Amino acid sequence: MDAERDKAPKPAAPDKAESFQSRKARLRASFLSQLPGRLADARRAVAELRAGEIEHARLDALYVLFHTLKGSGATFGFRQIGDAARTAEQAVRRAMDSGGHVEPTLPAELACLLDDLDALALAADVQADPDTAPGFELPGPQSRPEPAPGQAPDAHPGQPADRSQRMVYLCDDDPDLAAQLAGQLGCFGYRVRAFTTLADLRTAVESERPAAIILDIVFPEDENAGPKMLAELRSAEQETIPCIFISCRDDFEGRLQAVRAGGSAYCTKPIKTVELLEFLDALTNPHPPEPINVLVVDDDRELAQFHATVLEEAGMVAKAVSNPEQVLSLLDTFDADLVLMDMYMPDCSGPELSRILRQIPGHVSLPIIYVSSETDVERQHKALAVGADGFLTKPIEPARLVAEVALRAERMRILHSLMVRDGLTGLFNHNAIMQFLEVAVANARRGGTSLCFAMIDVDHFKSVNDTYGHPTGDQVLMALSRTLRMRLREDDLVGRYGGEEFAVVLNGAGVEPAKRILDALRTSFSNVTFFSDGQEFHCTFSVGVSDFPTFATPDALTEAADRALYRAKKGGRNRVEIATEQDALPEQSPDSAETSDGS
Amino acid sequence: MRILIVDDDPFAGAMAEAILDAEGHDCKLVESGVEALDALGEEHERFELVISDMHMPLSSGLDLFREMRDRGIPIPFVLLTGDDPEPLREQVPGLAACLTKDASLEVTLPAAVAGL
């Protein structure tokens, strides 16, 4: 052993000065933070088991998973986790010993054990070193909202909107930063392995290919060591591994090296976790991305249809309209990533239509590309000056059309996703959630379905901040946002409305199920134990709910939910109130300032 | 003592490392038998003890132990297992120790190493 840096600091960088107890506590904590990921892996493998078939490979994988869990669970003193993993391991072993035959009961048996393990993981997390840091954990899954009998489509299973537990390698020579980032990304569902030397990273990549690498630029050995390592890895690998560079260097040279080495993104330190997550999500997403939506406007109906067909063949969703007047109403329901428009149309020219769109706040950033036979550069420039993004000259090669549209739409999507997220919680920000509410209301009206809008406000949040400090207050907000994201369906929308207020759009839900869901969330959040400076405390929240069609517009929904929330606060907090038609009327109460007054 | 730790589970490995570091030992952690053989390489004198997990994908701790002996590497070998260690103790002569991977490792591992 020649030097400290030769050590493989996984999962947390060892620090020789640290006492064994605190090191153990840290290892336990990081074991627990990775546990949900491992269990999700197991769940996926179990879901893939086909009853009655011979499944050698899947059983082998499950065996290793449970066996490892048994070993490390027991090593860290989580006896029950170790025991449950052992039972699962033995069940898999029996199947392996019977020639790899999957008994019809095996998947259900394993799923049941995984439920136990999930609950144990959450319970164990609460106990994990309460003294070292403010922490939080959610109560076990047994308190998930139970779907009422016969109400399957409305049931909100505890489906975490996770990152599918993808494996990410992180390499930074600063062990503290590496451990901290790994922990944070772990909270958002990634499995992260942190390394402090490039040699360790290379060894790991050679043995198991990660979904992405997060790599520092500067290392002690070389100020461009990160990019050099990536270039080296790239030359050895068949497929390229997406890489995000993180660096305190914000100079051109550093960025150039990163781009030349093939880096997909570049984040400067201090790292904004949410920004990093956006890139990671985009780079590691195993699902094909949402198809690009394009609106094609051309008074020549056939040409509009032709362009739309070309784009559709490239996997996009295209809508063709020949009448510019239809564009605005179409955009209300069709979430276009880009508008392709003819420059010369008889009733309304392309530049005129662009100007109209640019005067509507929701469409300021919508990319617009003109299509025209105009070859006069002067006139092209003029047309672009009103706020369009590009110019394609007819006739257009189909391949070029697809490339131009895809390029602009994708870039705008990335920009958009960075703009709509709240920095602390990763939820949609105020503007975004309000825009989504508008779209959701329009969809509900068109489809004749219902939806609920809930405003959630943490009770006595100001006193949490005053008593325990803002970092602890932030932990409470993150815990609540995590509760909401984990427990709601993927097509429900969750946003941070502001401060300690959150907004949720429950698509397709009526008042009754919405109340049931929110009450379950409220109960489980009130059971969350928070830790700060060794002290334990609990938090609650109040909710106001309004529904469409009782309230017909986004404004009416938010106002009514706000009034219902006020009633919930006034009625003693920690409760869900449903907005009734009276809530539509402006309230005369003079003391209506109370809700915003640190409650 | 200079110790090579072999465990495919980075958490269990790091835990063993932490336990032994606390006793003042100098540890290196690798994740597979192949990496262990690499680390032992030409000059296995760098290590005075190998501690390996039993069950690892590809090659087990037992495979590693046998491979080392085949290569004439005589370093003492401690096997860690999540299962009952008794059958292994009986089947495999020549192990310095065979210990159960659980919370008691904090005590049994330093004791076994100190007894060498």
Residue type, A141: P
Q: What pLDDT was estimated at residue A542? A: 97
pLDDT tens digits, one per residue of A256-302: 888 888 888 998 887 776 678 778 877 886 555 678 999 999 988 88
* Contact status, residue A132 vs residue A22, Cβ threshold 8 Å: yes
pLDDT tens digits, one per residue of A246-260: 998 888 888 888 888
Q: What pLDDT was estimated at residue A143? A: 34
pLDDT tens digits, one per residue of A88-144: 998 998 898 888 888 888 988 898 888 888 877 776 664 443 333 334 433 333 333
**Count: domains in chain B:** 1
* Contact status, residue A128 vs residue A28, Cβ threshold 8 Å: yes
The predicted model gives B41-70 an average pLDDT of 88
CA A559/CA A544 separation, integer angstroms = 10
What is the separation, in whole angstroms, between the first and last Cα of chain B? 10
Percent of chain A with pLDDT over 90: 23
Q: What pLDDT was estimated at residue A596? A: 44
Q: Could you say which of A1, A20, A204 has the minimum Cβ distance to residue B18?
A: A20
Measure B22 CA to nearest chain A CA, in Å: 6
Judged by CB atoms closer than 8 Å, whether chains meet at B11 and A31 is answered as: yes
Range of the domain at B12: 2-114
Distance of CA A321 to the CA centre of its chain: 34
- Phi and psi at A479, nearest 5°, equal -65, -45
At A586, is the pLDDT very low, low, confident or very high (cuts 50, 70, 90)? low
At A599, is the pLDDT very low, low, confident or very high (cuts 50, 70, 90)? low
CA distances in angstroms from A201 to A10, A107, A240, listed in the order given: 11, 36, 15
CA A541/CA A591 separation, integer angstroms = 21
CA A141/CA B86 separation, integer angstroms = 38
- pTM beyond 0.90, yes or no: no
Q: What pLDDT was estimated at residue A287? A: 55
Judged by CB atoms closer than 8 Å, whether chains meet at B9 and A11 is answered as: no
Q: What pLDDT was estimated at residue A179? A: 79
Q: What H or E segment, with its residue span, contains residue A451?
A: strand A451-458
The predicted model gives B26-52 an average pLDDT of 89
Collapsed DSSP state (helix, strand, coil) of residue A260: helix
pLDDT tens digits, one per residue of A20-54: 777 887 788 788 888 888 888 888 889 888 888 88
At A157, is the pLDDT very low, low, confident or very high (cuts 50, 70, 90)? very low
Count CB-CB contacts under 10 A for residue A518: 26
Rg (C-alpha) for chain A, rounded Å, is 27
Judged by CB atoms closer than 8 Å, whether chains meet at B8 and A74 is answered as: no
Q: What pLDDT was estimated at residue A543? A: 97
Task: Tell me the chain B residues in contact with residue A6 when contact means C-beta distances shorter than 8 Å.
Answer: 28
At B80, is the pLDDT very low, low, confident or very high (cuts 50, 70, 90)? very high
Residue B116 or residue A355, greater confidence? A355
Percent of chain A with pLDDT over 70: 84
- pLDDT exceeds cutoff 50 at B29: yes
* Contact status, residue A403 vs residue A314, Cβ threshold 8 Å: no
Task: Decide: residue A512, CB within 10 A, 0-12 exposed, 13-18 middle, 19+ buried.
Answer: middle
CA A31/CA B3 separation, integer angstroms = 23
Domains of chain A, first to last = 23-129 (1.20.120), 167-272 (3.40.50.2300), 293-410 (3.40.50.2300), 430-596 (3.30.70.270)
| Residue A205 token pair | 């990549």
Residue B34 or residue B43, greater confidence? B34
Collapsed DSSP state (helix, strand, coil) of residue A420: coil
Range ranked top by mean pLDDT from A37-41, A151-155, A174-178, A538-542: A538-542
The DSSP string of A265-329 is: EEEESSP-HHHHHHHHHHHH--SPPPPPEEEEE-SSHHHHHHHHHHHHHTT-EEEEES-TTHHHH
Task: Tell me the chain A residues in contact with residue B22 when contact means C-beta distances shorter than 8 Å.
Answer: 19-20, 23
Judged by CB atoms closer than 8 Å, whether chains meet at A86 and B28 is answered as: no
Alpha helices in chain B (DSSP H): 10-22, 33-40, 61-70, 86-91, 105-114
- pLDDT exceeds cutoff 90 at B22: no
CATH of the domain at B74: 3.40.50.2300
pLDDT tens digits, one per residue of A408-448: 888 877 777 777 777 777 788 888 899 889 888 988 998 89
Count CB-CB contacts under 10 A for residue A566: 24
Name residues whose C-beta falls within 8 Å of residue A158's C-beta, 6 or more positions apart in sequence. Answer: A141, A144, A486, A487
Average pLDDT, chain A: 80
pLDDT tens digits, one per residue of A161-188: 344 457 899 999 988 888 778 776 765 6
Judged by CB atoms closer than 8 Å, whether chains meet at A14 and B17 is answered as: yes
CA A394/CA A370 separation, integer angstroms = 10
Q: What pLDDT was estimated at residue A36? A: 83
